[in-house]
Structure 1
Amino acid sequence: MGVPEPDLVLTVHTPRPGVAVVDVRGHLDHHTASRLRGRGFELIDQGFHHVVLNLAHLRFSDSTGLAVLVALLQRTRTHQGTVVVAAPPERLRKMLRVTGLSLVVAEHHDVDHALAAIESDGTVGLGARHNV
């Protein structure tokens, strides 16, 4: 009998055209990262070029989570979009800083602040770290 894989639950909200909020709940690791990457790519390909990852309920993320973040960022940038994170756990915030991703991925205290940073014309204000 094997050990069950850690869970990852993704819930998507689309508060306005071109913007998707993905609530990420559970564990983000090599077992589950492909689900977030796949769902994120689907959203981007459907026209949601600005993606907010709500990490308030993320219990664990390893470096695989950072790889997914980079992949989503690259995909959104091909459409002049972006990825921002809301409420990242402290461990992930540290990984973003150590790797330099905090310079290109905006961090916000919560989803409301992240959405406010996405301008009405679909752009994200300058500066990588806001309200953290």
Structure 2
Amino acid sequence: MTAAEPARRRLGHAGSWPEPTSRVSLREHTPRPGVTVLEVIGDVDLAEADAIRVRMSQMLHQTRPERAVLDLSGVGFLGSHGLTAVVRSSRAAGEAGVRLDGVTGPGNRAVIRPVRMTGLDRLIAWYPDLDTALAA
């Protein structure tokens, strides 16, 4: 037995780390005909980013909206993988011929700051709340 084995056993690991579990909730809704919203609540990084990308792709191809809105107002952390999911969602929307807008949440620095720092505010139109996005 190696020195690390007792620690692995205490932590419940047999030799490799478990897959990260998603800490995000996704909710899709249609506030009016032709507009579909993907609402994201929680922290977005590695495990959550793939879930967002997959759900956005499904939404674009199954409901075929004229316009999609990615609502990140309920996000408390937006990591680099989450930013990549936003870029991929934008590309998928463009390929599907769908306009994609985003919602940051009013004063939500966890989303506003990385969106501005990475230039995503030049790729996607962002709004402080869903009502403002829907009125645009």
TM-score range, shorter chain: 0.7 to 0.9
Aligned mates of 2:70, 2:81 — CA distance in 1: 15
What 5-or-longer segments of structure 2 have no aligned partner? Answer: 1-10, 13-17
Match of 1:55 among 72, 75, 78: 72
- The answer for the alignment partner of 2:131 in structure 1 is 112
Q: TM-score, normalised by structure 2?
A: 0.76
Q: Which has the higher helix share?
A: 2
Aligned mates of 1:116, 1:26 — CA distance in 2: 25
1:72 to partner: Cα distance: 0.8
- The answer for the alignment partner of 1:81 in structure 2 is 98
What 5-or-longer segments of structure 1 have no aligned partner? Answer: 118-132
Cα root mean square deviation, aligned: 1.9
- The answer for the alignment partner of 1:93 in structure 2 is 112
Q: Do 1:49 and 1:79's aligned partners in 2 also have CA atoms closer than 8 Å?
A: no
Sequence identity, in percent? 32
Q: Tell me if 1:9 matches 2:9.
A: no
Aligned mates of 1:18, 1:105 — CA distance in 2: 18
Kindly provide the CA deviation profile for residues 14-60 of structure 1, in whole angstroms up to 9, marking residues without a partner as x.
12233211111111100211111111000001202522122221111
Which 4+ residue blocks in structure 1 deviate beyond 6 angstroms?
A: none
* Count, aligned residues: 117
Q: Which structure is larger by alpha-carbon Rg, 1 or 2?
A: 2
Q: Tell me if 1:45 matches 2:64.
A: no
Aligned mates of 2:112, 2:133 — CA distance in 1: 15
